[in-house]
């Protein structure tokens, strides 16, 4: 039986911690949330020498153990609580070779907790380029640890790191320095009051809103012979602690690290002057967005057509190969078309995540955040609001969770309320199928009309979000003043493994998360579309044959008319016809109405719903797109999906909430039903009015 140990991966943001995590765990990882809070929890499994298995937790990035956000609190509370099932047997602190001085602050603090701590110096492949040399033996001796010099890009040093983790018991747990010297009397009294507790753990409990074991701040204050300090005194002592640690770090690096400035070849400053320029920065970002959306269309067209045809053929084959009956019809007309309606968009969603991952990995996304802060401040938001707004292009749910690092409640609330306007990947299937139906395939200046339309929808979502923020900033009378600070990581070539893992994990999460909902809704819709309550449904064959007796229809045409009659008078048909008067002014028929209602569970269900509805009773081997293109407007005649109705539908989904999961998260984050209710009413009302005006104007 193999032994399992807990390993905590800790480090400052942008030190390559995620790369180290991916190098250790590969695909053996999963993402969830810490119980009761919305901070992301990444964990994975790594096989070590001698049959040891490591359970690795990738903790949120933190600059120190002086917590200023919920993310950093998670790190501290885990390191303080030995009873936690994830409490680490060994801590691995990941540092960046170019920012070693700053990264070592966190390392020295964790050493004070007497946890075996390994120092990983990452991005070692840049040492020669930056003129950096390290005396590893000297650093290990002074820091009382073992060091792994790692390059995740070249996959160097990972095996050595695994060996160090396996032999973690050989690592000294002696602190690097004695920080209690900042106020000897105070800490001596603290030791006397709590002789069985680790002094640095007590210090963290006293100075911050964290607990460990059965000891908390109130108990410390209640000790009679222990003289407590004011908040101002504690803050000054914290500052003294940081100064003392940096004095030690400077002394260590004076002999352990050499930097030859003449060898350092730094393009970063020159690149930043262009990419964050007040004019060219925005132009370059706009060009990058154009290129991304054009590539999404051009690169994914072949696999999408292939998937569309495969599902159409599979549905037809199921009908031919399996015995006729309700189960066969359920498979061929419900489950297969429903799943086809989401699988067809895997190529485009994967490409979207690919480009976002490349931008993040290269360090460019941080420049975008910095660049957009200039705009955000004018609309009552901080630069930190840009992170959720950009994250919202993947999904609004984690984007809303990401607002936790915004200190101001007003800015955080506004960001939560406007983030759902950002075009998320769930809207992508709706946009793509409608754009392909109503927007021609021509090009202008080498850019396709369809790609430009998609980009305009993304820009519309972003402009609506910041415009709404401006209005909310005027309405919500909450005074606040905050400052925006963002770290600019070094530019680097994206690591292929990291990009691939991100694309696989994000796409898998999207497909399986949506797939469960779509499968359930597809089955329900098929049942509602295959059965009906009245004589018009039960006697559909007799009614149709009598009505078209004089027209000499072929057998295929006759069966199509019978299927249409049954669908119209099925449970779903009657429901759709009941809501049709409300949506007819928008250019929609009852089938689109059903798709809109069902897509409230998840926006991407819209296409799967239409795929299921259009497949019921059909024997023709047609793709989803062809079925939708062939739909006839029951009122005006001609195609149902025209330019006017298509634009109306695109605008409806650009503004409508249409996501019950997002509403649930907003309720949890604001601790009130007031804000999600307002979101639902205002966004749905805006969507209806804009879609109505668009159709009436364009028709």
DSSP string for 444-463 = ETTEEHHHHHHHHHHHHHHH
| Alpha-carbon gap, residue 440 to 435, rounded angstroms | 8
Which letter, b or e, does each residue of 254-263 get, where b requires 16 or more Cβ atoms within 10 Å of its Cβ? eebbeeeeee
End-to-end Cα spacing for the chain: 71
How would you classify the pairing of strands 132-134 and 257-259? antiparallel
Return the percentage of the chain with pLDDT > 90, whole number.
Answer: 12
Mean pLDDT of 579-588: 88
Q: Parallel, antiparallel, or unpaired for β 40-47 and 53-58?
A: antiparallel
Residue 570, judged by CB atoms within 10 A of its CB (0-12, 13-18, 19+), counts as buried
Backbone Cα Rg of the chain:
30
Q: Please name which of 648, 620, 621, 616 lies closest in space to residue 633, comparing C-alpha atoms.
A: 648
Residue with tokens 């604001």: 670
Instruction: Phi first, then psi: give them for residue 116, nearest 5 degrees.
Output: -55, 120
Pairing of strands 40-47, 29-33: antiparallel
pLDDT of res. 620: 47
Say which residues have a Cβ less than 8 Å from residue 665's Cβ, sequence separation at least 6: 38, 396, 397, 400, 401
* Class of CATH domain 4-170: alpha beta
Q: Where is average pLDDT lowest: 114-123, 570-579, 643-652? A: 570-579
The residue that leads in pLDDT, 158 or 231, is 158
Element (H, E) at 255: helix 231-256
**Per-residue model confidence (pLDDT) at position 612:** 63
pLDDT confidence of residue 120:
92
> What is the rounded average pLDDT for all residues in the chain?
79
Query: 82 near 198, Cβ under 8 Å?
Result: no
**Alpha-carbon span 525 to 530, nearest angstrom:** 8
Cα pseudo-dihedral 450, 660, 679, 399, rounded to 10: -70
- Structural domain boundaries of the chain? 4-170, 179-259, 280-475, 515-698
Q: How does pLDDT run across 281-314, given as a tens digit for each residue?
A: 888 888 887 777 677 767 877 887 788 788 878 8
Q: Which of left, alpha, beta for 276 (phi over 0: left; psi -120 to 50: alpha)?
A: alpha
What is the Cα–Cα distance from 629 to 416, expressed in whole angstroms? 37
Contact 596, 684 (CB under 8 A): no
Among residues 334, 311, 308, the alpha carbon closest in space to that of 429 is found at 308
Residues 45 and 161: their CA atoms lie apart, in Å, by: 15
Helix %, strand %, coil % of the chain (to 5) = 65, 10, 25
| 550: pLDDT strictly greater than 70 | yes
- pLDDT at position 394 is 64
pLDDT recorded at residue 1:
42
Residue-level pLDDT at 681:
93
Alpha-carbon gap, residue 368 to 275, rounded angstroms: 8
Is the pLDDT at 564 greater than 50, yes or no?
A: yes
- Asked if residue 150 lies in contact with residue 96, where contact means CB atoms within 8 angstroms, the answer is no
Classify the phi-psi angles of 108: left when phi > 0, otherwise alpha if psi is within -120 to 50, otherwise beta. alpha
Find tokens 């040399």 and name the residue.
133
Question: SS3 for 68?
Answer: coil
* Contact in structure between 466 and 377 (CB atoms under 8 Å): no
Alpha carbons 110 and 64: distance in angstroms, whole number? 9
- For residue 16, which of 154, 159, 152, 160 has the smallest C-alpha distance? 152
Determine the pLDDT at residue 407.
65
Confidence of residue 566 (pLDDT cuts 50, 70, 90): confident
CB-based contacts of 3, cutoff 8 Å, min separation 6 = 51, 52, 53
What pLDDT digit, counting tens, does each position of 45-63 carry?
A: 888 887 888 899 888 888 8
Hey, how many other C-beta atoms are within 10 angstroms of the C-beta on 671?
A: 8
Sorted by sequence, the CB contacts under 8 Å of residue 488 that are 6+ apart come out as 272, 363, 366, 367, 370
Reported as a single tens digit per residue, the pLDDT across 606-648 is 776 676 666 554 544 456 667 676 676 666 667 777 888 889 9
CA–CA separation, 220 vs 190, rounded Å?
9
C-alpha closest to that of 652 among 678, 618, 623, 688:
688
Give the span between the Cα atoms of 363 and 137, in whole angstroms: 32
Query: Do 189 and 225 contact (CB within 8 A), yes or no?
Result: yes
């Amino acid at each position: 039986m193999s032994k399992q140990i807990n390993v905590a991966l800790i480090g400052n943001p942008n030190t390559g911690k995620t790369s180290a995590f991916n190098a250790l765990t590969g695909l053996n990882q999963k993402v969830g949330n810490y119980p009761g809070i919305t901070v992301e929890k990444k964990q994975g499994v790594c096989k070590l020498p001698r049959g040891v298995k490591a359970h690795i937790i990738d903790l949120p990035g933190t600059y120190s153990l002086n917590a200023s956000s919920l993310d950093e609190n998670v790190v501290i509370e885990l390191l303080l609580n030995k009873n936690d099932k994830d409490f680490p047997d060994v801590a691995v602190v990941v540092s960046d070779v170019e920012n070693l001085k700053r990264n070592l602050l966190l390392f020295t603090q964790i050493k004070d907790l007497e946890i075996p701590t390994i120092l990983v110096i990452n991005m070692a492949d840049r040492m020669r380029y930056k003129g950096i040399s390290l005396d590893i033996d000297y650093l290990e001796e002074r820091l009382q640890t073992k060091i792994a010099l790692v390059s995740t890009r070249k996959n160097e040093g990972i095996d050595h790191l695994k060996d160090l983790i396996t032999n973690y018991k050989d690592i000294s747990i002696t602190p690097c320095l004695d920080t209690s010297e900042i106020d000897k009397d105070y800490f001596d009294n603290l030791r006397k009051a709590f002789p069985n507790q680790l002094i640095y753990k007590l210090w963290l409990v006293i100075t911050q809103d964290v607990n460990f074991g059965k000891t908390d701040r109130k108990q410390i204050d209640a000790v009679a012979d222990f003289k407590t300090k004011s908040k101002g005194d504690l803050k000054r002592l914290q500052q003294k602690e940081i100064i003392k640690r940096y004095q030690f770090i400077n002394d260590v690096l004076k002999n352990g690290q050499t930097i030859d400035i003449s060898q350092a070849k730094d393009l970063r400053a020159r690149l930043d002057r262009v990419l964050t320029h007040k004019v060219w920065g925005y132009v370059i970002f706009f060009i990058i967005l154009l290129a991304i959306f054009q590539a999404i269309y051009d690169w994914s067209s072949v696999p999408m057509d292939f998937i569309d045809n495969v599902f159409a053929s599979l549905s037809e084959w199921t009908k031919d190969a399996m015995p006729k009956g309700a189960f066969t019809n359920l498979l061929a007309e419900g489950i297969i078309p429903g799943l086809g309606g989401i699988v067809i968009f895997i190529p485009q969603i994967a490409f979207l995540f690919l480009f976002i991952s490349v931008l993040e990995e290269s360090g460019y996304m941080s420049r975008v955040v910095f660049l957009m802060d200039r705009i955000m401040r004018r609309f009552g938001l901080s630069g930190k609001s840009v992170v959720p707004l950009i994250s919202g292009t993947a999904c609004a749910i984690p984007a809303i969770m990401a607002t936790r690092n915004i200190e101001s409640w007003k800015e955080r609330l506004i960001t939560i309320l406007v983030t759902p306007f950002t075009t998320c990947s769930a809207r992508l299937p709706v946009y793509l199928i409608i754009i392909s139906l109503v927007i021609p395939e021509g090009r202008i200046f080498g850019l396709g009309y369809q790609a430009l339309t998609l980009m305009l929808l993304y820009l519309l979502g972003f402009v609506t979000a910041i415009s709404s923020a401006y209005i909310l900033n005027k309405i919500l009378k909450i005074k606040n003043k905050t400052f925006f600070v963002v770290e600019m990581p070094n530019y680097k070539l994206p690591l292929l493994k990291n990009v691939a893992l991100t694309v696989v994990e994000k796409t898998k999460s999207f497909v399986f998360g949506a797939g469960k909902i779509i499968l359930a809704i597809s089955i329900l819709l098929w049942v509602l579309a295959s059965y009906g309550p009245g004589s018009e449904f039960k006697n559909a064959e007799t009614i149709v044959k009598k009505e078209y007796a004089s027209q000499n229809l072929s057998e295929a045409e006759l069966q199509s008319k019978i299927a249409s009659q049954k669908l119209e008078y099925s449970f779903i048909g009657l429901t759709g016809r009941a809501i049709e008067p409300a949506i007819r002014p928008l250019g929609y028929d009852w089938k689109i109405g059903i798709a809109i209602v069902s897509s409230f569970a998840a926006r991407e269900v819209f296409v799967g719903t239409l795929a299921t509805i259009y497949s019921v009773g059909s024997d023709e081997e047609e793709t989803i797109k062809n079925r939708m293109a062939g739909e006839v407007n029951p009122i005006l005649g001609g195609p149902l999906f025209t330019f006017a109705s298509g634009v109306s539908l695109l605008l409806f989904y650009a503004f409508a909430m249409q996501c019950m999961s997002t509403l649930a998260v907003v309720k949890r984050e604001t601790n009130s039903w007031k804000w999600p209710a307002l979101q639902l009413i205002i966004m749905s009302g805006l969507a209806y009015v804009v879609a109505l005006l668009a159709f009436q104007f364009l028709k």
